[in-house]
Amino acid sequence: MYFESPISSKELARKLYLPVPLITAMKKEFIKVGIVEQYKGISITPKGEQYVEDQLGYKGLNKGLYQKLTKACRMKDVFNDEIKTIKNIFDARPSVDFTVDQAHCDYITSMRRAMLSLKYKTLINKKILCIGDDDLVSVSLGLLINKLYDNSQDNKTEIHVVDIDSRYLEYIDKIARDFNLPIICHNRDLRQKLHDELIEEFDCFYTDPPYTMNGMRLFLSRGVDALKRRKGLPIFLSFAHRSYDASYKILTKINQMGLSVDRIVPKFNSYEGASILGNIGQLMVLNTTSYTKSDIKGDNYTEYLYTKQCKKNRKEKVRC
């Protein structure tokens, strides 16, 4: 209603995937406290606007740009002035370390991942976690925030990065300082549990884990530990395309962790020099449920994790 007011009960129900009677009941309660009013549909009041801006963090937001970005638009049309700068940032990132399954996605893919935060309402006034970030999704999210807010002092979003590679953490930290991005970096080997200050703190997380089942299990589990205990929180999982049998095992594991699948987008990710993946990968959007739980027991993970480790030890019949 903050962006589209007035709006009919029927249209609001369609946008929120809720039945019209429930929308009507909610509307009546909102009218009682003065947040909305019934006028040519449902309209937000000045009191309602103040609540959205002060309490939900939308004060200072460029509303026109936000609405444009949430609809179909070409990224280069929006970020035309910044494209060269963004490309230079990505071109200058550290080289990949194949021993830990790093593979650079291109800057367009990284920005497209960041844009998903608008579709799933996980950007404004949220705490976002990037688990492993050689793809610089944290930077893309930060640049998106800067674009949306004319005054960065109004922004209340926090972006955290957890990575084992200090080269990327140092680079991301430098970019954050140079461009005043709300990014906080943490050096951590995910085979060890997350620090207490990161547990149950976040509204969503992004991850592009090692391309093994163990890698996916571990990164998803650490991310689940970091999420707030709420239903419907999104997880943006990038993973290689797999065979039918392997895809079945992946979805089975996701189901066992109590996560629901919102959507799977084939060929969403484009990578530079990742010929073993065909230079493309899929993106899965998962959601937390009442049944969501970590799949890792104990504080330390000792199984093989990376592709080269698993290939080397196949003769030993090690499960990866």
Based on the fold, state whether residues 196 and 251 are members of the same structural domain: yes
Range of the domain at 189: 64-316
Read off the CATH number of the domain in which 294 is found.
3.40.50.150
What interhelical angle do 213-226 and 244-256 show, nearest 10?
30
Count CB neighbours of 81 within 10 A.
8
Q: In this structure, are residues 127 and 104 in contact, taking their beta carbons and an 8 Å threshold?
A: no
pLDDT of the residue at 31: 96
pLDDT of the residue at 301: 85
- Measuring CA to CA, which residue among 47, 67, 100 is closest to residue 208? 100
Q: In this structure, are residues 88 and 143 in contact, taking their beta carbons and an 8 Å threshold?
A: no
Is the residue at 297 inside a domain?
Answer: yes
The residue whose two tokens read 């200072």 is: 60
- Measuring CA to CA, which residue among 109, 106, 167, 172 is closest to residue 138? 172
Based on the fold, state whether residues 82 and 26 are members of the same structural domain: no
pLDDT of the residue at 71: 79
pLDDT of the residue at 163: 96
Is the residue at 169 inside a domain?
Answer: yes
- Please count the CA atoms within 13 angstroms of the CA of 10 that sit on its side-chain side: 1
Q: Give the DSSP letter string of 97-115.
A: -GGGT--PBPHHHHHHHHH
Based on the fold, state whether residues 250 and 165 are members of the same structural domain: yes
Based on the fold, state whether residues 111 and 244 are members of the same structural domain: yes
Partners of 159 in beta bridges: 128, 183
Based on the fold, state whether residues 249 and 177 are members of the same structural domain: yes
pLDDT of the residue at 315: 53
Based on the fold, state whether residues 72 and 155 are members of the same structural domain: yes
Based on the fold, state whether residues 232 and 312 are members of the same structural domain: yes
- Please count the CA atoms within 13 angstroms of the CA of 243 that sit on its side-chain side: 3
Q: What is the mean pLDDT, run by run of 10 residues, along the chain of 320 residues?
A: 92 93 95 93 95 94 90 75 90 89 91 94 96 96 92 88 96 96 96 94 96 92 97 96 91 96 95 70 97 89 75 57
Give the pair of three-digit tokens for residue 239.
Answer: 């993973």
Number of domains in the chain: 2
Give tens-digit pLDDT for 31-51.
999 999 998 899 999 999 999
pLDDT of the residue at 304: 77
Is the residue at 36 inside a domain?
Answer: yes
Is the residue at 22 inside a domain?
Answer: yes
Is the residue at 1 inside a domain?
Answer: no
pLDDT of the residue at 238: 96
Based on the fold, state whether residues 168 and 38 are members of the same structural domain: no
Based on the fold, state whether residues 48 and 178 are members of the same structural domain: no
Is the residue at 249 inside a domain?
Answer: yes
Task: Indicate the burial class of 208 (C-beta count within 10 angstroms; 0-12, 13-18, 19 or more).
Answer: buried
Is the residue at 2 inside a domain?
Answer: no
Based on the fold, state whether residues 50 and 76 are members of the same structural domain: no
SS3 content of the chain, % helix, strand, coil (to 5): 45, 20, 40
Based on the fold, state whether residues 28 and 93 are members of the same structural domain: no
Q: CA–CA separation, 273 vs 104, rounded Å?
A: 8
Based on the fold, state whether residues 221 and 179 are members of the same structural domain: yes
Classified as helix, coil or strand, 26 is helix
Is the residue at 134 inside a domain?
Answer: yes
